[in-house]
Amino acid sequence: MTRNRSSIRTLTGTRIYLKHGKFYYVAPEPMLNRKTGKVSKWHILCTEKEGEDKAREARNNLIGTVESPIGGGDFPAYFTKWQKKILKDRSDATPKDPAHAVVWATGTRNLKSSFLIIEKAFRDCDVANIEPVEVAEFLDQWEGRRSAQTYKSTLSKFFSWCCRKGIVKSNPAKEVEVTAPPKRDVYITDEQFNAVRAHLLIGEDKKPTRTGEMVKCYVELLYLLFQRGTEIRLLRWDQITPEGIVFKPTKTEKKAGTKVLWPITEDVRAIFNTAKKVAKIGSMYIISNEQGQPYTTHGIATLFIRACKRAKIEGITLKDIRSKASTDAISQGYTMEQLQVSLAHTDSATTRGYVKNKVAPVNEIILSLPDMENQNHIRQLSNKLSNKN
């Protein structure tokens, strides 16, 4: 059983720990430090300011080993081989649409970044010797956050691949539980929603904003069409048919393949007309920036946040609009099954997570205390008990 790590997780497997501003090497057994002439388990390597790489170098000098650039264990070699397969599969699945391809590329960069963090953390480990406790120590850095779930999923997929290749006999990541992040319980009221829509149009200087009308169209389509931001940001004019719009959510397109046909209502058609009218230049995208390109996630979120600030509204995000639409639909009498279709969900539990409590439910159960009609009897019984004491 390895020692529980309470410091830097990227040093997992090195026996290097950070304590009181210094890096220490903790030997399995007391050993002679030729530099100090002392025999001890704990050996000072360098200061925290000198950094992790300096600590690794000092450890190697201390124990007489040479660490390869990629690490001393076989984890990097196997992990790199698995990575290549995953990234090739992802490259083969790149969407043909340029805008969707950009989003896909961003996801690939994020994936590579997470791979680097995992590889660095376990680079001194041998895959066959990694235990659940070491996986848990790594994941504990993001306890209660979505990142922990992401890293666990990645490690579990890697170890499953190792099992198929006969490299390991079990999957240590499967033995580790991670705490799910708290569910967001925010409902945007009608007053807040309308206030933000109004403040999108007027800036701090009380003058009309350059992009307000277009972003307002985006916000309204998020509400009326129930889709994720990516689907609305990248919605093209050629996707509009006489029957309506067929949405295939990009987030689940490869796994679930769900889709939903949305008929064009009068409200939606009016928003489309407004978007076409206020567009600075002709664009293939319904919601476009001043260059005729789709807004980036960060760009349009920034404009929304500024409008919220002008409206003096805190604690809401663009993603909360989808929950508002879902909650309002249920409040207006639509069923959970109908809502599941609208959201293009395969799992009803996911759909239920979008419905928020607009107000606290009112209790309707009222009880009376038993035997309250005979107050004298209650007092006599109380007096008898008092006299006994």
Looking at the DSSP assignment, which residues form a beta bridge with residue 261?
246
Cβ contact 137:143 at 8 Å: no
Give a three-class secondary structure readout of 158-204: HHHHHHHCCCCCCCHHHHCCCCCCCCCCCCCCHHHHHHHHHHHHECC
Q: Cα 215–221–226 angle (5° rounding)?
A: 135
CA-to-CA dists, residue 146 to 41, 149, 152, 178, 298, angstroms? 37, 5, 10, 9, 19
Q: Quick one: 75-175 is in which CATH superfamily? A: Tyrosine recombinase, N-terminal domain (1.10.150.130)
pLDDT under 50: residue ranges of the chain:
1-6, 66-70
DSSP, res 313? -
Residue spans per domain, the chain: 9-63, 75-175, 190-321
CA-to-CA dists, residue 156 to 160, 172, 351, angstroms? 6, 8, 26
DSSP string, 4-45: PP-S-GGGTTTTEEEETTEEEEEEEEEEEETTTTEEEEEEEE
CATH of 190-321, one of 1.20.950.20, 1.10.443.10, 1.10.510.10, 3.90.1150.10: 1.10.443.10
Instruction: Work out the number of other CB atoms within 10 angstroms of the CB of residue 293.
Output: 16
Could you give the CA distance from residue 304 to residue 199 in angstroms, rounded to a whole number?
Answer: 9
Cβ contact 5:12 at 8 Å: yes
Residue 211, CA atoms < 13 Å, CB-side half-sphere: 19
Asked if the domains at 75-175 and 190-321 fall in one CATH topology, the answer is: no
Could you give the CA distance from residue 368 to residue 371 in angstroms, rounded to a whole number?
Answer: 9
Cβ-proximal residues to 80 (8 Å cutoff; 6+ apart), any chain = 119
Amino acid sitting at position 355: V
What pLDDT does 69 receive? 45
CA-to-CA dists, residue 356 to 183, 189, 269, 286, angstroms? 11, 11, 28, 30
What pLDDT does 185 receive? 86
Question: Residue 207 region, left (φ>0) first, then alpha (ψ -120 to 50), else beta?
Answer: beta
Nearest residue to 104 via CA among 89, 94, 114: 94
- The residue behind tokens 């939903």 is 260
What pLDDT does 1 receive? 39
